[in-house]
């Protein structure tokens, strides 16, 4: 039998009926997303992804005299983390390319005196693994990285949800408020001063709204990236 042989056209009335049935099916699947389903999905998501971290994944942190003069983020933050007992520092030597050497056609690294900040046992205890999206030549991929985390985020309430039109598996976006439970050092005024974005999130309990997208996989709602 020729698989490319012309077949009899499908009557228009059948197409209309099929479209109606398909629409009814999508509506039925969309109707499965109610407050209880959205709440359960967000709770499950935060159980696995509820650590609020600072993006401090690379240790030790070295600060040279040139870094000090530039007054970058680490220059302000590391001494505060040290005062809170999360890191300790000492003088060290690092191989770096900096200063006028950066303008060379073939810059060579050389020994540079630095103040090196390393995690204390208290800092190590605050390091948690989390999913990080890493860009690469073959596209984005998710890897597990350790990060310094200041709070645990749990669900306060789901305040809204909407289905997302898709030709594939059903998807929806949940909007929710949260409760942030900070580590004791996360409430320190000096920490809040040098980590203002973290302070904003910690102050957002019960008020700030977050969004998360979910997709149905094997009958369960799983996270599907950040909401648009």
**What digits encode the pLDDT tens for the residues 103-147?**
666 778 899 999 999 999 999 999 998 877 666 666 666 677 899
pLDDT in tens, the chain (228 residues): 444 343 344 343 333 334 333 433 333 344 478 999 999 999 999 999 999 999 999 999 999 999 999 999 999 999 999 999 999 999 999 998 876 666 666 778 899 999 999 999 999 999 998 877 666 666 666 677 899 999 999 999 999 999 988 888 899 999 999 999 999 999 999 999 999 999 999 999 999 999 999 999 988 999 886 655
In a domain, 13, yes or no: no
Domain-located, residue 104: yes
Chain centre to alpha carbon of residue 214: 15
State pTM to two decimals: 0.77
Question: Strand 171-182 to strand 209-217: parallel, antiparallel, or no bridges (unpaired)?
Answer: antiparallel
What is the average pLDDT value for the chain, to the nearest integer?
A: 83
CB 127 within 8 A of CB 118: no
List, in sequence order, every residue forming a beta bridge with 22; answer none if it has no partner: none
- Structural domain that includes position 88: 61-124
Q: How many distinct structural domains can be found in the chain?
A: 1
Does any domain span residue 56?
no
- With respect to residue 103, please indicate whether it lies within any of the assigned structural domains: yes
According to DSSP, the residues that pair with 223 across neighbouring strands are: 214
Angle at CA of residue 220, ends 215 and 221, nearest 5°:
35
Q: Is residue 140 part of a domain?
A: no
């Amino acid at each position: 039998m020729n698989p490319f042989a012309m077949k009899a056209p499908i009557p228009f009335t059948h197409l209309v009926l099929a479209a109606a049935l398909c629409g009814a099916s999508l509506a039925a699947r969309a109707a499965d997303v109610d407050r209880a389903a959205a709440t359960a999905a967000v709770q499950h998501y935060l159980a696995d992804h509820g650590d609020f971290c600072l993006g401090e994944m690379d240790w030790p942190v070295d600060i040279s005299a040139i870094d000090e003069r530039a007054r970058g983020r680490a220059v302000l933050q590391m001494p505060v983390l040290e005062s809170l007992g999360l890191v300790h520092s000492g003088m060290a030597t690092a191989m770096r390319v900096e200063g006028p050497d950066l303008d060379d056609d073939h810059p060579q690294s050389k020994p540079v005196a630095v103040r090196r900040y390393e995690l204390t046992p208290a800092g190590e205890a605050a390091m948690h693994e989390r999913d990080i999206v890493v860009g690469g030549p073959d596209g984005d991929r998710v890897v597990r990285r350790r990060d310094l985390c200041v709070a645990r985020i749990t669900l306060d309430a789901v305040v809204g949800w909407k289905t997302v039109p898709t030709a594939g598996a059903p998807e929806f976006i949940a909007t929710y408020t949260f409760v942030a439970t900070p580590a004791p050092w996360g409430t320190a005024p000096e920490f809040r001063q040098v980590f203002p974005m973290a302070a904003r999130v910690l102050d957002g309990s019960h008020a700030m709204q977050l969004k998360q997208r979910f997709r149905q996989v094997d009958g369960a709602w799983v996270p599907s990236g950040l909401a648009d």
